[in-house]
Structure 1
Amino acid sequence: MKSTIVGVDLAKKVIQVCTCTNHTVRSNVEMTPNEFTQFLANSKPMSVVFEACSTSSYWKQKALFFGHDAHLISAKLVASVRQSQKTDKNDALAIVQSALLPDVRFISGKSAQQQQLQSIMRLRELCVKQKTAISNQLIALLSEFNISSSNRNGGLKGAVERTLADSKNEFSEHFRSSLDTAWKLYIELSKSLVIYDQCLENSIEEHPDCKKLLKLEGVGPINAINLYIALGCGDLGGFNKGKDASACIGLTPLQHSSGGKNKIGSIGKHVKNTIVRSNLITGASNFVNHVIKREAKTAKEIWIQGVVDRRGIKCAAVALANKTVRTAFAMLSQGTEYRADFVKPLF
Structure 2
Amino acid sequence: MNEVTLIGIDLGKHVFHLHAQDAKGHEVFRKRLSRLQLLPFFSNLKAVTVVMEACAGSHWLARKLNQMGHVAKLVSPQYVRPFVKSNKNDYIDAEAICEAACRPTMRFVEPRTEAQQLLAALHRTREGLVTERTATINRIHGILLEFGIVIPLAKAMLRRLPEVLAVHDLPPRLTRIIERLYEHYRYLDQQVTDIERDLTTQLREDENAARLLSIPGIGMITASLLAAEVGSVAQFAGGRNFAASIGLVPRQHSTGGHSTLCGISKRGDRHLRYLLVQCAHAVMHRATQRTDRLGEWIRSMLTRRHPNVVACAVANKLARIAWAVLTKHTAYDASRLKFAD
Q: Aligned residue for 1:139?
A: 141
Backbone CA RMSD of aligned residues: 2.3
3-state SS, counterpart of residue 86 of structure 1: coil
Per-residue CA deviation, residues 84-118 of structure 1 (Å, 9 max, x unaligned), is: 33322121111112212231111222111110000
3-state SS, counterpart of residue 203 of structure 1: helix
Structure 1 residues 235 and 212: alpha-carbon distance in aligned structure 2, compared to 1, 3 A threshold: closer
Unpaired runs of at least 5, structure 2? 337-341
3-state SS, counterpart of residue 69 of structure 2: coil
1:327 aligns with 2:325: no
1:341 aligns with 2:335: yes
1:196 aligns with 2:169: no
Does the 8 A contact of 2:210 with 2:331 survive in 1? no
Q: Aligned residue for 1:240?
A: 237
Q: Aligned residue for 2:221?
A: 222
Determine the C-alpha separation between the residues in 2 that align with 1:152 and 1:258. Answer: 51
Determine the C-alpha separation between the residues in 2 that align with 1:252 and 1:68. Answer: 35
Determine the C-alpha separation between the residues in 2 that align with 1:308 and 1:263. Answer: 23
Does the 8 A contact of 1:6 with 1:47 survive in 2? yes
Determine the C-alpha separation between the residues in 2 that align with 1:144 and 1:40. Answer: 62
Q: Which residue of the other structure, out of 305, 311, 314, is the alignment partner of 1:317?
A: 311
Determine the C-alpha separation between the residues in 1 that align with 2:222 and 2:310. Answer: 18
TM-score (norm 1): 0.89
Per-residue CA deviation, residues 45-76 of structure 1 (Å, 9 max, x unaligned), is: 11100111110000111111111111111212
Q: Aligned residue for 2:339?
A: none
Determine the C-alpha separation between the residues in 2 that align with 1:279 and 1:58. Answer: 26
Determine the C-alpha separation between the residues in 1 that align with 2:83 and 2:154. Answer: 61
Structure 1 residues 151 and 114: alpha-carbon distance in aligned structure 2, compared to 1, 3 A threshold: closer
3-state SS, counterpart of residue 81 of structure 2: helix
3-state SS, counterpart of residue 127 of structure 2: helix
Determine the C-alpha separation between the residues in 2 that align with 1:18 and 1:51. Answer: 13
Q: Aligned residue for 2:263?
A: 266
Per-residue CA deviation, residues 122-168 of structure 1 (Å, 9 max, x unaligned), is: 011001100000100110011111112136997344445433x3684
Q: Aligned residue for 2:49?
A: 47
Structure 1 residue 327, shift from structure 2 partner: 1.6
Q: How does 1:9-88 map to 2 (within 5 A)?
A: 9-21=10-22, 22-88=24-90
Q: Aligned residue for 2:128?
A: 126
Q: Show structure 1 runs of 4+ deviating over 4 A.
A: 151-154
Q: Aligned residue for 2:275?
A: 279
Letter aligned with residue 62 of structure 2? K
3-state SS, counterpart of residue 144 of structure 2: helix
Structure 1 residue 199, shift from structure 2 partner: 1.1
